[in-house]
Amino acid sequence: MIVPLNLPKARLKLTKKDSEVYVWCILRKKNLVCTPEEWVRQHVIHFLISDGVPQGLIASEYTLEYNGRSKRADLVVFNRAQQAVLVVECKAPEVELNEHVFHQIASYNHEMKVSYLMMTNGLKHIYCHVNQSSGKLDYLESLPKLV
């Protein structure tokens, strides 16, 4: 079920094959099954681009190692020096943004050491600035300009 999100309207290319709906990912250059989480991820991609982040500086399903296991961050934004500056964790609209989700994104950041975190279910968004020297988190109303 595709639901309206609390993100700017995105011009997504949807197709249907048999009973499955697919969404075109402009980053991965392929059709993906349009799950509720993918619906949110695609809207966030378009939101970041409309906010001035060049498409080439956004990675989707970014692979990283944590505790010897391979993990995938939903979205990672890099600066022009190719340093990761933002990790985004996308959840389906019906998923609550709780401590479990926070621990998930914090574990990614343990390896990546970015300055900003974003958690979203498309309806609610949580933004944090991470002070790398103290480890302190400051919650923000919105994301700053990233590049």
The fold for domain 36-140 equals: tt1808, chain A (3.90.1570)
Query: What's the predicted TM-score (pTM) here?
Result: 0.94
**pLDDT score for 1:** 58
Q: How many CB atoms lie within 10 A of CB 99?
A: 9
The structural domains of the chain, with segments of one domain joined by +, span 36-140
Q: For the chain, which residues score pLDDT lower than 50?
A: none
pLDDT computed for residue 143 by the predictor: 93
How many CB atoms are located within 10 Å of the residue 95 CB? 16
Q: What is the pLDDT of residues 100-134, one digit of tens each?
A: 999 889 888 888 999 999 999 999 999 999 998 88
Q: What is the pLDDT of residue 147?
A: 80
Cβ count near 24 (within 10 Å): 15
Q: In terms of C-beta density within 10 A (0-12 exposed, 13-18 middle, 19 or more buried), how is residue 76 classed?
A: buried
